[in-house]
Amino acid sequence: MCIPYKKIRPNGKLGDSISSKHSLPPNHLRPQERGLQGALTFWTAAFPGLARDLPEVQQSADEAANGAKPVETHAEFESLSRNRISNVSFAVCSAGEILVLVIMVGILKGLHSDASTANNTKAFSVLIAFSGGVWLICALPWFIFEKRRPGLKLPPKTSLLTIGFKQTYVALRECMRLKQTFLYLVFYFLMGDVLNTTVTVIATLQNSVVAYSTLQLTYLLIVGIVTQGLGIYIFWLVQKKFRISTKAMLSFNVFWIIILTLWVSLAFTPINLASSMYGRYGFTRRFTALCQTMISEVSPMSQMFLFFALFSTIGKTSAFIGRFVSSAIITDAGGNNNMPFAFLFGLGVLSTVLLYMVDVKKSRVECEVFVTAEAKRDAFSDSRWDKIVVSG
């Protein structure tokens, strides 16, 4: 697979002349991408447990158990604690990304990436190696300093090789009983399809505008990540001040994603390139943070990692389906890259209706029944999280 570049005029720079193709196989990025998605899934799955371990949350749970505080008040407080951990974590990630990207600009300047296609390709490879090294350096301390947090015990007649298959079977078998969880799962699939495909098509259009210049793409990334970090943290401050629920914040974010698909469907030119960058990054990572928190709102606490893995699998499945459909639409439209956004707009509206139908209070009751039923079947071992059950 080759990525199209621009030929270089004599004494010219990248992107000055007609279109061509230079071999730059991106397949070596696939293992890194899979590792990133796997790490992100189980990283965010740890947030609900971290929130419940907070001293203030434990104190609130004790007060709710003793009748000193309404159960709903405690549930709201715990939900905000989950949002705080999620939002602050993603905001810190954005700050780290900006630092790394600034260093990358220096590397690109030193390698004169825009001088020729060969320099551009070499610089791209150097950046991949540099970012991989940064990832490794940042990941190693986690394995060294993380305190052990015991999870579930293995059920009878199971092993580490079979427990994953058994738990997945149980989750799928009981999913229809968790009606609110299933409803959110369908929303997650559809809206994930909308967002993943939108980001992919916008990236393709942006690359056609900047002629695949690694330096220009890095500049655009800096603009986008700054918007992302500010958006996440400002949204969190608003949510904390007015004590807005996770579902309400997610609905607001989804609304603007739909607006993004409508905006880009009208036209995509260098003039609105910056605005699409704001939308792409300002709401994409914010959507991710809220979606992950919402998963914890509609999933049994004792099986949090299992349901996060299930949602992640569904999300990755939707990622390629929408791209196939969009590719077919582009082909049918005679190569018009803007046409898929009309389809994505309609799909986004449908998924928003499904999100509106999700009832978080009913989901807590369903999750309680789920945990009780599975405990009787010995499908899952008891968990310390089941000692505190919050029902609506």
Q: Domains for the chain: give ranges and CATH numbers.
A: 3-387 (1.20.1250.20)
Tens digit of pLDDT at every position of the chain (392 positions) = 333 334 333 334 444 433 333 334 444 455 556 566 667 777 888 888 889 989 999 999 999 999 999 988 999 999 999 999 999 999 999 999 999 999 999 999 999 998 998 999 899 899 999 998 998 898 888 888 877 767 667 777 788 888 777 777 776 676 677 889 989 989 999 998 888 888 877 777 777 777 778 888 888 888 888 888 888 999 999 999 999 999 999 999 999 888 888 877 775 554 455 555 555 556 677 888 899 899 999 988 877 777 887 787 777 776 677 778 888 888 888 877 778 888 899 999 999 999 999 999 999 888 888 877 766 665 454 444 444 444 33
Q: How many CA atoms lie within 13 A of 257 on its CB side?
A: 31
- DSSP string for residues in 87-153: HHHHHHHHHHHHHHHHHHHHHHHHHTTTS-HHHHHHHHHHHHHHHHHHHHHHHHHHHHHPPP---PP
Structure tokens at 129: 């190696």
Rounded to 5 degrees, φ, ψ at 4 are -70, 135
Q: pTM of the entire structure?
A: 0.81
Query: What's the residue count for the chain?
Result: 392
